[in-house]
Structure 1
Amino acid sequence: MERKYVTLEEIAQRMKMENRTPQIDLSTIKIYHRGVNRPQMFLTGYEGHFDTERLQLFGELEVFYLRQMDSKDRAVRIKRLVETGIPAVIVCRGQEPFPELIDAASERGMPVLVAKQDTAGVLVEIIEWISERLAPTEIRHGVLVDVYGEGILITGVSGIGKSETAIELVKRGHRLVADDLVEISRISDKLIVGQAPEMTRHFVELRGIGVVDVKSLYGVESVMDSTTVDMIISLEEWDNSKTYDRLGLEEESEEIFGVKVVKHTVPIRPGRNLAIIIETAAVNNRQKKMGYNAANELIARATVLAKAQNTED
């Protein structure tokens, strides 16, 4: 199986870069690494720990350093860089590439691009975009909604009411991301993001009604293209033989690509308003992130009261 990649043409088009080696087809240049490098150390002669899979950025520092050299020395250093097999050089801030760079790159078949943005902006945008495109991805069955800024993945067996709950949440002012199939990606060590496949984006299937277009019915503010996955709500039929958590002291979690995501199992029975339960879970999760835990607070109050009563006795 071939590694995931993006083409240099996609990057150049996204960031409106100029190709100064037009004879080279950018669509044939594959980028496998999300990292971007500034080759200051390499240009000074230190070639250790140099990743040849990364795009190389020439900012003001690199250009200034090379400009101090005479043409012969500059050509030697640039040729050595190009011969390592790097995929491309991007010159930032709209600076003009050195003729020695164009010559060496053309001979090697390596593209030279010019970006108008500053070096930091180019670096950040490329890393973020490539990270999303190259992120490990899986498809999960469920519904993804954004509730008070918390991305909640609702799971459960088919027909349990996930889509109906999502519609109720949308009517209450929250936003749908995906229904039925959710594409989940890990774009960093701790960040999980979900979105809908292009074909089913903004659509929800309601049994007995059919497929509805949430964006058309409720407006553009009712949908999102993607969101982080901050919590999993697992819906299941109420089982009288099971004991369900009533205080919230024991936090359940589920791993997605090695990242632990908070999980709550919510039993279903007539009379329970799932939309309100999920709203409350979202706000409670935000409180916990801010350091407040209602269950711990309740126990602390009970402990203080018990101590007070023992003292009176």
Structure 2
Amino acid sequence: VFEKICQKQTPCLLVSRNLPVPSELKEAAEAAGTPILISNDTTTYLMSMITQYLAVKLAERSSVHGVLVEVFGMGVLLTGESGVGKSETALALVQHGHRLIADDRVDVYQRDHETVVGEAPRILKHLMEIRGIGIIDVLKLFGIGAIKDETDISLVINLTNWDSKANYDRLGFQENTRIICGIAVPQVTIPVKVGRNMENIVEVAVMNFRAKAMGFDAAKTFDDNLTSLIAENTEEEKRGEKD
């Protein structure tokens, strides 16, 4: 049985719970050149960890154009046309204490049916391109606390050049999404205009998104208050007509 197990295509044998390795298994593994690994962990734990590891490493990956940052612990993908200010906004967020994951190109993959993960390509890890300055190393300039290897993408913020004729969402009732790796990720569009503090607006957008997820919707509160006020005025008008 051990000889059948120890074939050329067998990557290794893993013995859990620090159990002793039978001499027959050692002989068969040595003859086939199959490594034997030993762990103190339980079989269930090892199988779970290996399954998760392989799911990540073997997941199908694709790339999206944008900048991925972690703001208040939430993965935010900044998208938009070239030159709109994605990298500059991300740099300002890093200076505010947030973390950079990837600039310019983000590799994404599906972790499960609800989660999409973003990470930097190896060649671009910890690097940013700032027009007029060039390539900067965020790790060396701002320290280890300013970078992160990967993060779940919870929100997409699409930066677009300001258009006075465009109809932007002013109340927050519109709910848009962007499909990434087959998963619908919530998306908001923020117009970029000279004089607007984009990093502060992005921070507020993230805090507002988290508040909505916790059940605190400012737009709904405004709508409820407006409906209540209209109802009160209508009742007062009816009473006035009766008097």
Q: In structure 2, what is the Cα distance between the partners aligned to 1:79 and 1:286? A: 56
Q: CA deviation at 1:197?
A: 1.3
Task: Kindly report structure 1 stretches of 4+ aligned residues shifted beyond 3 Å.
Answer: 78-83, 85-89, 97-113
SS of the residue 2:66 aligns to:
strand
Residue ranges of structure 2 left out of the alignment (5+ in a row): 238-243
Q: Name the counterpart of 1:194.
A: 118
**Mapping of 1:95-134 within 5 angstroms?**
95-99=19-23, 112-134=36-58
Letter in 1 for 2:169: D
Q: In structure 1, what is the Cα distance between the partners aligned to 2:53 and 2:124? A: 23
- Of 13, 16, 24, the residue aligned with 1:92 is 16
Letter in 2 for 1:270: V
Pair 1:81–1:203, CA change in 2 (3 A): closer
Task: Note if contact 1:151-1:231 (Cα within 8 Å) is conserved in structure 2.
Answer: yes
Letter in 2 for 1:255: I
1:267 aligns with 2:185: no
Task: Note if contact 2:67-2:102 (Cα within 8 Å) is conserved in structure 1.
Answer: yes
1:217 aligns with 2:147: no
Residues 256-306 of structure 1 show CA distances to partners (whole Å, capped at 9, x for unaligned) of 111110111111111211101110111111112222222112111111222
Q: Name the counterpart of 1:159.
A: 83
Letter in 2 for 1:301: N
Letter in 2 for 1:161: G
Identity %: 38
Q: Which moved more, 1:126-135 or 1:115-124?
A: 115-124
Q: In structure 1, what is the Cα distance between the partners aligned to 2:179 and 2:98? A: 25
Residue ranges of structure 1 left out of the alignment (5+ in a row): 1-74
Q: In structure 2, what is the Cα distance between the partners aligned to 1:207 and 1:299? A: 43
Q: Name the counterpart of 1:302.
A: 226
CA RMSD of aligned residues (A): 2.4
The count of residues paired between Structure 1 and Structure 2 equals 236
- Of 128, 145, 157, the residue aligned with 1:204 is 128
Letter in 1 for 2:18: G
Q: Name the counterpart of 1:5.
A: none
1:174 aligns with 2:76: no
Pair 1:111–1:243, CA change in 2 (3 A): same
SS of the residue 2:231 aligns to:
helix
Q: In structure 2, what is the Cα distance between the partners aligned to 1:188 and 1:110? A: 32
SS of the residue 1:183 aligns to:
strand
Task: Note if contact 1:254-1:261 (Cα within 8 Å) is conserved in structure 2.
Answer: yes
Letter in 1 for 2:108: I
Length-normalised TM-score, structure 2: 0.86
SS of the residue 1:211 aligns to:
strand
Q: In structure 1, what is the Cα distance between the partners aligned to 2:36 and 2:124? A: 39
**Mapping of 1:8-157 within 5 angstroms?**
89-99=13-23, 112-157=36-81
Pair 1:269–1:123, CA change in 2 (3 A): same
Q: Name the counterpart of 1:239.
A: 163
Letter in 1 for 2:126: H
